[in-house]
A and B are shown apart, each in its own frame.
Chain A
Amino acid sequence: MSKKKRSTGYAKWGYIFCLPFFITFLIFSLYPTLYTMLVGFTDLHGIGKTAIHILKDDPFANYKATLTSPTFQKALGNTLKIWICNFIPQLGLALLLTAWFTDRRFKVEGEGIFKVLFYMPNIITAATVAILFNALFGYPMGPVNDILTRFHIFSEPYNFLVKKTVAQNIVIFIQTWMWYGYTMIILVSGVLGINPEIFEAAEVDGANAWQTFWLVTIPNIKTILLFTLVTSLIGGLNMFDIPWLFLYGGPDNSTLTTSVFIYKQAFSGGYLYNKASAASMIMFVIIVIISLYLFFMMRDKDEAALKKIRKQQEKEMRRKMKEARS
């Protein structure tokens, strides 16, 4: 109570300090969001056009066209497939390394250096990585082909980049390669945050390393695993740099993700801003649903509980005062 009284006169400063954030958010985030939504209902297309006319016959035409478009469906399917196929090995590898790096029975020499190296691909510009891998898998004399033929694994160079599944798998590999180090660091820090007494108790109870990991470590980092899953999913749904610069979504749309689809629709060829906006909003809704889920999982639980108690107390007090009055 006393805290409240003390700071009443200062309340306006709270608004003042948060104002720059709020104004920037309105201009650069909220307005573009609403405008994108609006454009999705119009016939806006063509380079340099800005005038908008709401579609009269069927305002939802762009949304319907996008949802039924085979290319969009393909892009959405690719996006999910690339994400799932990169997330599973990424998480598996990260968990394995986490188990090794946090094992209390022995210390891995050079752990620090390994962490630095595993995380390194993540910090390098994705645009650079995409073009580098394009060069590495070059045909006929890219470095990968050079190694494969020199060690007689392949008798002649293989043209990786024109094969649909191979190209898709390389994108999956790049994503895994870029992100497993990040996931590992997050998980290791999560495990180090667990109360050591729990592990000691498990040791006393005679649990082996395998049991300790699955029955003690994993349940204790559940929240962090969830955080990793959701942030990775949202990042995966927006994948652009790698698939775009690796092969521009090709060959035959096999590495086309929804972000590449939106970019291609809006900023090359037909400049179909309306169709691209509809696609953006569809992705936006998907991401908002996932974010809301994470939001409710990550809420400051103690704080929410405290607030509930405080409110109840206030109610009680008011009730008592009322009773006293009557």
Chain B
Amino acid sequence: MTNKNKSTLKKVFIIIICILLSILSLFPFVVMLVNSTRSTTQIQQHAVSIIPSSFFFNNLKILVGKSFNPAVGFGNSLTISICATALTVYFSTMTAYGLVIYDWKLRDAFFSMIMMIMMIPGQIVMIGFYQMVYKLHMTNHLLMLILPAIAAPTTVFFMRQYMKPALSPEIVQAARIDGAGEFYTFNRIVLPIMKPAVATQAIFSFVTSWNNLFTPLVLLTDQKKYTLPIMVSLLKGDIYKTEYGCVYLGLSLTALPLIVVYLVLSKYIIAGVALGGVKG
């Protein structure tokens, strides 16, 4: 009896801690969303409220009036993220295929190289990258933010780990006997088999690309090319210093799509994170 009581007590304790942590996770975003509908005066009187107000459109008018155009940032971020994600998953699967199916002399050396560069973050050599792009007069081209996505070592590593047990060489062999070319086999037979891995990696490379601040911050100077994270960074500027409602609204506009997508796909995202850890 006492043992049972003890374990119930422990369970209650665990759930209380978990609820507190959940509140901690949600609190900043709730404040942000609610305050985006409140006027600056209301926020100055009481910055925390759980009751939304009616100043959403008012805030929006001020926000857009000050050269903050979330639609442009949204469009640019979407373009970059979609293209970069497509390139990453396609070429990473392709590289993994080259590593798994074919036996070539430098294969092991190449894979070792991928593993070694996997951990090195691109931003550490940003100056060399910037100088190169500057000399090509390409600083304000979104292409410079998209093309590097072709070489994504982490994704290649993941795809290879997934492909090894999932794709038997016999399938490829059978396709060859049927007269299929190597690229045809890859596009029509291998890619469909890799679909679950592609979906997981697509989510992560999309989020990474969407949230990237450093590279666009260094490369983009043209306001029309700004991405969403750069738009967000403008909210800290002097022009919004006293427009609290506006700042919260700007933040909400950038965070809300992510929150919604996350809640919809959370099952897959959490499973994907877990998979990444086990593979590592």
Chain A residues in the interface with B (C-beta under 8 A): 3-4, 6-8, 10-18, 20-22, 24-25, 28-29, 31-39, 44, 48, 50, 97, 100, 105-106, 108-110, 113-121, 123-129, 131-136, 138, 141-143, 145-147, 150, 177, 181-182, 185-190, 193, 224, 227-228, 230-231, 234-235, 238, 240-241, 244-245, 259, 262-263, 266-267, 273, 276-277, 280, 283-284, 287-288, 290-292, 294-295, 298-299, 307
Tell me which of A18, A36, A106, A284 contacts B7 (CB under 8 A): A106
How many angstroms from the CA of A123 to the CA of B266 in the assembled complex?
Answer: 10
Name 13 extra pairs, CB < 8 A, besides A14-B99, A287-B119, A307-B108: A10-B182, A11-B104, A13-B98, A21-B95, A50-B134, A109-B15, A115-B270, A116-B263, A117-B25, A127-B254, A143-B35, A235-B121, A262-B126
List 21 contacting pairs A-B, 8 Å CB cutoff, sorted by A: A10-B182, A18-B110, A25-B117, A28-B129, A113-B22, A117-B21, A119-B266, A125-B213, A125-B229, A127-B213, A128-B254, A128-B255, A131-B235, A132-B251, A133-B28, A135-B247, A135-B248, A280-B127, A287-B124, A290-B119, A295-B115
A34 proximity list for chain B (CB < 8 A): 128
Interface string of B180-193 (1 = CB under 8 A from A): 00100010000000
CB distance from B159 to the nearest CB of A (A): 11
Q: Are A36 and B125 CB-contacts (below 8 A) given A17-B97, A125-B232, A177-B24?
A: yes
Q: Are A145 and B47 CB-contacts (below 8 A) given A21-B151, A295-B115?
A: yes
A36 proximity list for chain B (CB < 8 A): 125-129
Give the most central of A8, A143, A262, A291: most B CB within 10 Å: A143
Give the most central of A32, A105, A123, A147: most B CB within 10 Å: A123
Find out whether the CB atom of B131 lies under 8 angstroms from the CB atom of A39. Answer: yes
Find out whether the CB atom of A267 lies under 8 angstroms from the CB atom of B117. Answer: no
Tell me which of A138, A185, A288 contacts B277 (CB under 8 A): A185
CB distance from A230 to the nearest CB of B (A): 7
Chain B residues in the interface with A (C-beta under 8 A): 7, 10-11, 14-15, 18, 21-22, 24-26, 28-29, 31-32, 35, 43-48, 91-92, 94-95, 97-99, 101-108, 110, 112, 114-132, 134-135, 147-148, 150-151, 156, 169, 173, 182, 186, 207, 210-211, 213-214, 217-218, 228-230, 232-233, 235-236, 244, 247-248, 251, 254-255, 258-259, 262-263, 266, 269-270, 273-278, 280
A113 proximity list for chain B (CB < 8 A): 22
A147 proximity list for chain B (CB < 8 A): 48
CB distance from A125 to the nearest CB of B (A): 4
Find out whether the CB atom of B277 lies under 8 angstroms from the CB atom of A190. Answer: yes
A227 proximity list for chain B (CB < 8 A): 277, 280
How many angstroms from the CA of A240 to the CA of B85 in the assembled complex?
Answer: 23
Q: Are A35 and B128 CB-contacts (below 8 A) given A132-B251, A287-B121?
A: yes
How many angstroms from the CA of A176 to the CA of B154 in the assembled complex?
Answer: 24
A8, closest chain B residue (CB): B103
CB distance from B279 to the nearest CB of A (A): 10
Tell me which of B122, B127, B273 contacts A273 (CB under 8 A): B127
CB distance from A299 to the nearest CB of B (A): 8
Find out whether the CB atom of A124 lies under 8 angstroms from the CB atom of B280. Answer: no
Top 3 closest pairs, chain A to chain B, by CB: A17-B98, A14-B102, A186-B277
Find out whether the CB atom of A230 lies under 8 angstroms from the CB atom of B119. Answer: yes
B23, closest chain A residue (CB): A117
B265, closest chain A residue (CB): A123
B14 proximity list for chain A (CB < 8 A): 100, 108
Tell me which of B147, B207, B214 contacts A241 (CB under 8 A): B214
A29 proximity list for chain B (CB < 8 A): 117, 122, 125, 148, 151
How many angstroms from the CA of A275 to the CA of B120 in the assembled complex?
Answer: 21
Find out whether the CB atom of B128 lies under 8 angstroms from the CB atom of A39. Answer: yes
Find out whether the CB atom of A20 lies under 8 angstroms from the CB atom of B119. Answer: no
Find out whether the CB atom of B132 lies under 8 angstroms from the CB atom of A31. Answer: yes
A11 proximity list for chain B (CB < 8 A): 102-105
A33 proximity list for chain B (CB < 8 A): 125, 128
B10 proximity list for chain A (CB < 8 A): 106
B173 proximity list for chain A (CB < 8 A): 6
Find out whether the CB atom of B21 lies under 8 angstroms from the CB atom of A114. Answer: yes
How many angstroms from the CA of A157 to the CA of B147 in the assembled complex?
Answer: 49
CB distance from B143 to the nearest CB of A (A): 11
Q: Are A276 and B259 CB-contacts (below 8 A) given A128-B251, A189-B278?
A: no
B98 proximity list for chain A (CB < 8 A): 13-18
How many angstroms from the CA of A106 to the CA of B230 in the assembled complex?
Answer: 46
Find out whether the CB atom of B127 lies under 8 angstroms from the CB atom of A39. Answer: yes
Find out whether the CB atom of A17 lies under 8 angstroms from the CB atom of B102. Answer: yes
Find out whether the CB atom of B156 lies under 8 angstroms from the CB atom of A21. Answer: yes
CB distance from A315 to the nearest CB of B (A): 18
CB distance from A209 to the nearest CB of B (A): 9
A20 proximity list for chain B (CB < 8 A): 91, 94-95, 150-151
Q: Are A189 and B275 CB-contacts (below 8 A) given A29-B122, A125-B255?
A: yes
Q: Are A35 and B131 CB-contacts (below 8 A) given A108-B14, A292-B116?
A: yes
A124 proximity list for chain B (CB < 8 A): 29, 211, 255, 258-259
CB distance from B51 to the nearest CB of A (A): 14
CB distance from B189 to the nearest CB of A (A): 14
How many angstroms from the CA of A118 to the CA of B26 in the assembled complex?
Answer: 9
Find out whether the CB atom of A28 lies under 8 angstroms from the CB atom of B148. Answer: yes
Find out whether the CB atom of A186 lies under 8 angstroms from the CB atom of B25. Answer: no
A18, closest chain B residue (CB): B98
